[in-house]
Structure 1
Amino acid sequence: MPSWTTCLLTSAALLALTACEGGGADAGPSAAADAAPSQPMAKQQTSEPEADGADEEAVDAIFTTEAVAQFSEPWAMTFLPDGRMLVTEKPGALYVVTQSGDKGEITGVPTVDYGGQGGFGDVALHPQFADNGTIYVSYVEAGEDDTRGAVVARGQLALTDAGGTLSDLEVIWRQNPKVTGRGHYSHRILFTPDGQHIFISSGERQKFDPAQDMQQNLGKIIRLNHDGSVPDDNPFADQGGVTAEIWSLGHRNILGIAFDAEGQLWEHEMGPKGGDEFNRIVKGENYGYPTVSNGDHYDGRPMPDHDTRPEFMTPEESWTPVISPAGLIIYKGNQFPEWTGSALIGGLSSQSLIRVAFDCPLDNRDICEAERFNMNQRIREVEEGPDGAIWLLEDGSSNGESGGRLLKLTPA
């Protein structure tokens, strides 16, 4: 039986909630969720409002949540032309899933280096998938001497009613260099609205300095042609090598990238101890990490804020305490008309769904967090369905005992 909860929004802004949050690291599924918005406008409840007499104004239902399917450690999803979904699991599995929750495994997936934050990552359809059957996947590949790095590969997907087969995999991009450690791969995949190019988020692998090193593609946003070659109009194309791949630099751990209706690219990334960011991405610009951050080092040493170094791009929104953002869409549907054009972000440590408005109702700002909904589980992925419903993937534990659900959100 599927299960449902209902999210409720207060009719006026609530008093600020206090919270203690550990930082932007992509911690495991057991991480606590204490974060609350510094200027909260929304509060989520499961099933029932507060008891009579509570000091709160009347509430109105916003959405109903249906648990559709369960996974072990789901990481990403994307919709197929027939309305089904592809869902990845971090240990190295790919499923085709119906909107009623029936799952079929896809064979032929690549061998992944599973552990920590690494394994099987993103999945994206070629813009002409309906004609050519090509999909793109990201995953972690082992190297020599206990090193590893993310790769992006493309292959042919043949689907059946019960599953499918992935074949003819070809790696088109690799993180360079491979390094030790098992964190901050990022490896999100996004095609441009015109379908001509592919963007890849490349985390700095918890090594700090690569984000500013133009001879490495770590801590960068990458732009490529479909086959992995470099477009002539990339900002550093004339410099050759991995430098030519770079679209923007100075990034940390980018787990969400999306285009808005006007074709503007947006991303979010985890800060260190504080300072999660929501950024407007501009060709050739430097976003400052690790030279600047609105957070601090985990050992307590301060980091200069963005406003101390005007040569770096400043986040449009920043969070301290952190939300640990993962998954990003700019909502284009009409099931939630008041959200059309807003960014929807999953929260890992904050266990929430966050709405960022581009017509901010607070402090005369253009862009800000407008609402936050407590989902009671770490949210790993956000997607918009063909009919405008919102779909989420919970982060899941390796033993399958908690989280890992595929959720469908529809208006209450």
Structure 2
Amino acid sequence: MKSALFTTALVLATSAWPALSAAQSSAIRTEVVAKGLENPWAMAFIGEGRVLVTERPGTMRVVGADGRVSEPLAGVPPVVAQGQGGLLDLITDRDFARNRTVYFCYAEPAASGSANSTAMASAVLSADARSLEQVRVIFSQKPKYSSRLHFGCRIAQAADGSLFLALGDRFQRMADAQTLDNHHGKVVRVKPDGSPHTDNPFVNRAGALPEIWSIGHRNPQGATLGPDGQLWELEHGPQGGDEINRIEPGKNYGWPVITYGESYGGGAIGEGITTKPGLEQPLHQWTPSIAPSGMAFVSSERYGKDWVGNLLVGSLKFRYLARLTLDGTRVVKEERLLPDLNQRVRDVRQGPDGFIYLLTDARNGELLRLLPR
């Protein structure tokens, strides 16, 4: 398989490329790093110019420095690859260079029957990067439910090593997002061994699951830490009302009590309201929906200083990359990049070389690098 070289030498060579001026900030192009990925969902950078990629059908592969795609890694647990389920998000541990630990989440089947839920596992990537070792399920969403929809499944790791996992409401169980006795429609926070963090907001509340960090979410499709270290999350709304939220402990983000969306086919959801005391408003929302997926803050000056601090979000529905300019936590401008991409953008990450990388969601999906013209 041929693709553009993804080597350390290239990184060094491109370090001399001029940064984009403000007037040129939209002058970007895509370069194909690798092709032939089957519905890729998430990526993580593992050193030496290599990228670890999950594929929704249940495989994990390494894209080499030369763009070649490896055979599937051994050790991936069974996944429910139906509907929106499968092998989904992936991150490397903050100390990956030393411990080679990765975290990934997926649709986990029940021991028997058709029920399933989102689970998160830890594993050690073997020295030859051909298998996962010491695989351990550290979190499993409760309760399991028979559904092909709304798994959520985005991971972010805090500075203290704890893990945030954003979980979907499982669609028909949307009312669960407002109660504390389940993990549906929640963001949870656990330690790397899977135990609840001791300062989680509901850890001492009777009847509440101790892993819960926030409630009132629908179908999270992006999670990342902001420049201030706080968790940001984005989620799909129902036919409108896709949201970006800055997640704070114990807060209620409203679903399904308030939403800017409506029922599929038309009609109000619940009371048909967009605000209610005690429920958080999104920092930004899209109506009509763009089906956002993947999000990354830009800290690199590869694309010009005016990009630093911007938030990038992929669109599955309209097949572009959204560049959001922020004033603090307020979105003051949105620019639609790559209007001719014509591919569903599933994941967005900034690489260790300072460039932005995208995964496109297709049976013959691609890993792309954004370059200044």
The TM-score normalised by the length of structure 2 is 0.88
Aligned pairs for 1:256-405 (under 5 A) are 256-303=222-269, 304=271, 307-336=274-303, 337-359=305-327, 366-373=330-337, 374=339, 375-397=341-363, 400=364, 404-405=365-366
CA distance in 2, matches of 1:74, 1:358: 29
CA distance in 2, matches of 1:372, 1:301: 29
> SS at 2:204's partner residue?
helix
Aligned pairs for 1:70-81 (under 5 A) are 70=35, 71-81=37-47
Contact 1:279 1:316 in 2 (8 A): yes
2:219 match? 253
Moved over 2 A (4+): 58-61, 239-242, 303-308
Amino acid at match of 1:326: S
> Any unmatched runs of 5+ in structure 2?
5-22
How far 1:63 sits from its partner (Å)? 0.8
- Pick closer, same or farther for the CA change 1:164–1:133 going to 2, 3 Å: same
How far 1:159 sits from its partner (Å)? 3.4
CA distance in 2, matches of 1:59, 1:286: 40
> SS at 1:237's partner residue?
coil
CA distance in 2, matches of 1:63, 1:327: 19
CA distance in 2, matches of 1:95, 1:2: 16
Amino acid at match of 2:331: I
CA shift digits 1:366-394 (9 cap, x unpaired): 31452012221110000111121110000
How far 1:157 sits from its partner (Å)? 1.0
CA distance in 1, matches of 2:321, 2:279: 29
CA distance in 2, matches of 1:84, 1:201: 26
CA distance in 1, matches of 2:296, 2:169: 23
1:45 match? none
CA distance in 2, matches of 1:377, 1:306: 34
> SS at 1:209's partner residue?
helix
Amino acid at match of 1:135: V
Residue 110 (1) aligns with residue 64 (2): no
1:26 match? none
The TM-score normalised by the length of structure 1 is 0.80
Contact 1:306 1:312 in 2 (8 A): no
Contact 1:288 1:306 in 2 (8 A): no
Residue 152 (1) aligns with residue 152 (2): no
> SS at 1:130's partner residue?
helix
CA shift digits 1:178-208 (9 cap, x unpaired): 111111111111101x242110011101121
CA distance in 1, matches of 2:358, 2:206: 39
1:409 match? 370
- Pick closer, same or farther for the CA change 1:149–1:357 going to 2, 3 Å: same
CA distance in 1, matches of 2:334, 2:45: 27
> SS at 2:166's partner residue?
strand
1:230 match? 196
> SS at 1:391's partner residue?
strand
- Pick closer, same or farther for the CA change 1:99–1:306 going to 2, 3 Å: farther
> SS at 2:70's partner residue?
strand
CA-atom RMSD in angstroms: 2.0
Contact 2:218 2:236 in 1 (8 A): yes
- Pick closer, same or farther for the CA change 1:99–1:321 going to 2, 3 Å: farther
Residue 190 (1) aligns with residue 152 (2): no
CA shift digits 1:62-91 (9 cap, x unpaired): 112011212111010011133311101111
Amino acid at match of 2:163: I
How far 1:308 sits from its partner (Å)? 3.1
Amino acid at match of 1:309: K
CA shift digits 1:114-170 (9 cap, x unpaired): 11111111111122222222211111111233111111111121132xx41112211
1:199 match? 164
The count of aligned residue pairs is: 346
CA distance in 2, matches of 1:149, 1:279: 23
Contact 2:259 2:274 in 1 (8 A): no
> SS at 2:243's partner residue?
strand
How far 1:209 sits from its partner (Å)? 0.8
CA distance in 2, matches of 1:117, 1:155: 23
Contact 1:317 1:369 in 2 (8 A): no
Matching residue within 132, 135, 151 for 1:166:
132
Contact 2:115 2:146 in 1 (8 A): yes
How far 1:334 sits from its partner (Å)? 1.3
CA distance in 2, matches of 1:97, 1:216: 37
Contact 1:127 1:195 in 2 (8 A): no
Contact 1:157 1:167 in 2 (8 A): yes
Contact 2:62 2:70 in 1 (8 A): yes
CA distance in 2, matches of 1:208, 1:377: 30
1:141 match? 108
Amino acid at match of 2:198: D
State which drifts further: 334-343 or 300-309.
300-309
